[in-house]
Amino acid sequence: MKVWFNGQLVDADDARVGVWDHGLLYGDGVFEGIRVYNGRVFQCQAHVDRLYDSARHLRLAIPYTKQELTDAMVETLAANGIDAGGYIRLVVTRGAGTLGLHPFKCAEPNTFIIADQIALYPDEMYRDGMAVIIAKTVRRSGRVIPSVVKSLNYLNNILAKIEAIDAGVAEAIMLNEAGTVAECTGDNLFIVSDGAVTTPPPGASILVGITRGVVMDLARRAGIPLAEADITVEQLYAADECFLTGTAAEVIAVTKVDGHTIGGGKPGPVTQKLLSAFRDYIASGDW
């Protein structure tokens, strides 16, 4: 496997950051996970723009232009023979520094691109739906770290993921400080009630997902009522349908929360319609 590392393709074993890198020491860096369909980088501009937005919040200067990183992703895909079903991890760390927190004593940032395959959930979950839990771990407030920043510090998500693993399920829903639904450990969440779709707003301490935005647009095109509004646990339990969206997850139904069956206990008609619309959108290449 080849990895694009600081401007050149190298063998994966040679793509290394040092122990002084602040990305390793403090989670000081940003990243994007990006899907590849039919040899093309999905929503490439949106992902690259978000990477730069995240870096700007951290006052982290990415040493490449957006076009250079776009070209580098294409180069990495070609070097690894990936043209379908692929996944890119684009990472920028603060770079090597000292054991102190001072971020501006670091050398040049390290930038690397990994291109591989990914299958986040098994096929049967897309057919039958998935069970999740509500985590005790609270989604960190945007007042702690701006929710728009997709940083390397993912400990909040990992703690909730551990709860899911311990419970024998694949995902965990995280509530925010107000006690309303925020998001899952790696996915955004939607509910369907009386044919209308609702998803938590940016102010609910969510990362505004790229796939979330695509699915919202597809819902509008299909004439499905859509709102961004706070979702209580009671509303979640009482929903007719629930589904998740994410770069790796795509669109997947939730049929059970904390052992409580959602709707009819199987993927509902609105979820199925949006999953079909998403797959058609991908197949069209009109993105």
Instruction: State the catalytic residues.
Output: 150
Q: Is 170 exposed, middle or buried (0-12, 13-18, 19+ CB in 10 A)?
A: buried
Cα–Cα distance measured from residue 199 to residue 128, given in angstroms and rounded to the nearest whole number? 22
Question: Could you tell me where the DSSP H helices lie in the chain?
Answer: 22-26, 44-57, 66-79, 123-128, 155-167, 210-221, 233-238, 269-284
Do residues 178 and 205 lie in contact, with contact meaning Cβ atoms separated by under 8 Å?
no
Q: What is the DSSP letter of 164?
A: H
Cα–Cα distance measured from residue 23 to residue 93, given in angstroms and rounded to the nearest whole number? 5
Q: Residue 19: how many CA atoms within 13 Å on its side-chain side?
A: 0
Across-strand partners of 199?
A: 228
Cα–Cα distance measured from residue 262 to residue 255, given in angstroms and rounded to the nearest whole number? 5
Cα–Cα distance measured from residue 257 to residue 216, given in angstroms and rounded to the nearest whole number? 23
